[in-house]
Amino acid sequence: MTTRYLAVSIDVDPVPCYYRIYGLGEPPEELRDLVMRRCVPRFAEVLARRGVAATFFIVGADVDVHVLGGRARAARALLGDLVAAGHELGNHSHGHPYEMARLGADDVAREIGACDALLREITGRPTAGFRAPGYDLSTTMLAELARRGYAYDSSIFPAPGYYAAKAAVMAALAAVGQPSGAVMTDPRALAAPPAPYRPAMAAPWRRGQAPLVELPIAVTPWARIPAIGTSLLLAPPWARRATVAAMRGRRFFNFELHGMDLADAEADGIPGELVARQADLRRPLADKLAAFEAVLDQALAHFEPVTLRDAASWVHREIC
């Protein structure tokens, strides 16, 4: 029988990322580590009940005591516990620049290198994987990852619907004179293979001979509907179940979520200006938790859970 693998990953984007996307300036300082402090433990609890080890993509600045002081120390202790429980930490850059795909080699090396060094202090082992801010992978990033001996990248998101929605939000913000801090993702990723592959160094959205593998974020067969937390946790139950059922047409379900997906706007004190702009923040936490658990339980009936690091080893061994 063919074994199917489920990898759960959580991008722990801090609140300032969302303020940048919506052109809101800087958030109140006390919200800087909110996602780490309040949301990450909620993920850990749900995953622990099912014995699932996941991959948490960490923004280096959030665990950098030179940036966040005592709050970075608290974050490091929390993440150390996650690692001890079997979870993986992945590199999500040091400062989460949305324009990272446009940065030169030196800046890219600094972004990846600074986060890498901080994660290594926490885990005591080399980091295996990277996810680009805004799913926007560049050849410069791929070259830096290859140079560092990373086993995988997991940034490519071949979902036409996501691009259309992102373009619409950015156009709407520009129209009201409040330009988004987000940057449009390279559309060539739309044509990328939706299943794990070895990318070309000069064109990461195509197959080639890179020493590391690409683990694309989940889209369903044929229609390429995104199977990610932000959409699945908000979908009506029938649509959610149909999307997860469709993923059984793939051997690998790379289920990506954001830390913010398990925020509780009221209890966590998220300002109204952000709640007004982000639909999932208007949904009660209990509903989102129930939807997350339903996705996991449905998927775990058919897929074996792995970290992305383990998924990459499987791909290196068996696929390419």
Contacts to Zn ion by CB under 5 A: 11, 13
The length of the chain in residues reads 320
Q: Closest separation between CB of residue 93 and Zn ion, Å?
A: 8
CB 297, min distance to Zn ion, A: 26
Residue among 13 and 310 whose Cβ is closer to Zn ion:
13
Structure tokens at 245: 């059922």
Residue placing its CB nearer to Zn ion in the complex, 59 or 192: 59
At closest approach, how far in Å is the CB of 108 from Zn ion? Answer: 16
Closest distance of CB 228 from Zn ion, Å: 12
Query: Which residue number places its CB atom closest to Zn ion?
Result: 13
Nearer to Zn ion, 12 or 72 (CB): 12
Complex with Zn ion: residue 13 or 136, whichever CB lies closer: 13
Kindly state the smallest distance separating residue 3's Cβ from Zn ion, in Å. 30
Cβ proximity to Zn ion: between 14 and 250 the closer is 14
Element of type H or E holding 117: helix 105-123
Q: Which two tokens stand for residue 188?
A: 């060539």
| Whole-angstrom distance, CA of residue 106 vs CA of residue 170 | 28
- Which residues are 227's β-sheet partners? none
* Complex with Zn ion: residue 232 or 250, whichever CB lies closer: 232
Tell me how far, at minimum, the Cβ of 196 lies from Zn ion, in Å: 21
Contacts of 299 (CB under 8 A, 6+ apart): 6, 244, 247, 253, 255
Contact 128, 152 (CB under 8 A): yes
Percent helix / strand / coil, the chain, rounded to 5 = 50, 15, 35
The full 3-state SS of 57-114, as one line of letters, equals EECHHHHCHHHHCHHHHHHHHHHHHHHHCCCEEEECCCCCCCCHHHCCHHHHHHHHHH
Q: Give the DSSP H/E element, type plus range, for residue 305.
A: strand 304-306
